[in-house]
Amino acid sequence: MIPGNPGSIAGIRVVELGQLLAGPFCGQLLGDLGADVIKVEPPGKGDPMREWGQGEEKVQWEVIARNKRSVTCNLRVPEGQALARRLILTADVLVENFKPGTLEKWGLAPDDLLKEKPGLIIARMSGYGQDGPYSDRAGFGGVGEAMGGWRYVVGEPDRPPSRMGISIGDTLCATYGCMGILAALHHRDRTGEGQVIDTALYEAVLQVMEGLVAEYDYNGIIRERSGSILPGIAPSNVYTCRDGPFMIGANKDAIFVRLARAMGQPELAEDERYATHLARGRNQTELDSLINAWTSGHTIEEVDALMIEHSIPAGRVYTAADMLADPHFAARKAIVEVETQERGKIRMQNAFPKFSKTPSSIRRPAPAHPGQDNEEIYGGLLGMEPDEIARLATQGIV
């Protein structure tokens, strides 16, 4: 264990079923907040996330499985299902991201679990939700991003829809699932009642689509792909310096006046083509070209210094290398060094958000192998005898 504050939801036990991203990322968030997260993996290779990520040595698991204990359990056989049920009934929260109907098929239907433990909170994550005509379809994050409207608006207007370089649909679904769990814990504190939380990948994406639906419903406007800009919001773009890209956001009138001064072209702020928010939006392409012509004559450091001097929202476009070298990341402890069990020290993003009284922390590195904590949990928590655990292992149940 890594010493640290126990966190704001210390004492809450979470059983995490499911694999890959949505369920496990929800478990990561809860673990960072202080929950005791018991990760259930299939015997053998465990969660496929152990083999995900870039580079020859896969380290994404070290992030998503931190603050978790691992047990193995074959959920596809009756004795494994019965064991999982015993474990779930010791918990406050169950997190799962299987295809709808899977828990029911395994004899772990939420209604039945709630009859045995009325205070249990069950967070279910799936592609399309637990009901509706699409609920029985297989759904991954990318499909949810497409259905929720994200993919259509991402990319250049003359090219097919693009994607972010991360699995944003899964992590959004997990984040809303975590938010739902915290709200359900508050409700349980007042009433003693547990409940089921139903989060769908496509609906999680839909929640962050701003006015996309309302703009079409009221104005008949379908948002299109616009590359690196938001149409009508200018200047707000990534511009090219001598040594790389640089982001400037100066679309507010007063800020644009300061930008024009920083560029040594104060007359731009008086020009009727750029003097107001609406005018700049109409002449966005031309204005971006003017700014890019200016930035291309300077280094990132030179432009950055001018933006700071004139109080203009702007900044470098960071890579991971930039983050590790930046003093602000260091001062805020946004990135921390974790001693992992098999790969030594690895730097990764810290627990977030920050709390003044009950700070979150990374208290435990990711389990090195599936079932690492079988004896501790099955023996200590469930009171099973060593020979019984050994028998289950021999039979491939754990």
> What is the per-residue pLDDT for 383?
97
Q: Identify whether the C-beta of residue 123 lies closer than 8 Å to the C-beta of residue 199.
A: yes
> What is the per-residue pLDDT for 82?
97
The per-residue pLDDT for range 53-94, each reduced to its tens digit, is 899 899 999 999 999 999 999 999 999 999 999 999 999 999
Query: What is the number of H-type helices and E-type strands within the chain?
Result: 18, 11
The per-residue pLDDT for range 233-249, each reduced to its tens digit, is 999 999 999 999 999 99
> What is the per-residue pLDDT for 140?
86
**pTM of model > 0.85:** yes
Q: List alpha helices for the chain, DSSP H.
A: 22-32, 60-64, 78-88, 102-105, 110-116, 141-147, 150-153, 168-191, 201-207, 212-219, 253-262, 277-282, 284-295, 300-309, 320-325, 327-332, 374, 386-394
Q: Cβ contacts of residue 90 below 8 Å, gap of 6+?
A: 13, 15, 381, 382
For the chain, the 3-state helix, strand and coil shares in percent, each to the nearest 5, are 40, 15, 45
Helix (H, G, I), strand (E, B) or coil at 330: helix
> What is the per-residue pLDDT for 4?
62
> What is the per-residue pLDDT for 16?
98
Domains of the chain: 13-208+351-394 (3.40.50.10540), 236-321 (3.30.1540.10)
- From first to last of the 398 residues of the chain, give the pLDDT tens digit: 555 679 999 999 999 998 889 999 999 999 999 999 999 999 999 999 999 889 989 999 999 999 999 999 999 999 999 999 999 999 999 999 999 999 999 999 999 999 999 999 999 999 999 999 999 998 888 999 999 999 999 999 999 999 989 999 999 999 999 999 999 999 999 999 999 999 999 999 999 999 999 999 999 999 999 999 999 999 999 999 999 999 999 999 999 999 999 999 999 999 999 999 999 999 999 999 999 999 999 999 999 999 999 999 999 999 999 999 999 999 999 999 999 998 999 999 999 999 999 999 999 999 999 999 999 999 999 999 999 999 999 999 99
> What is the per-residue pLDDT for 238?
98
Beta strands across the sheet bearing 93-96: 68-72, 36-41, 13-16, 93-96, 121-126, 195-200
- The residues assigned a catalytic role are 170
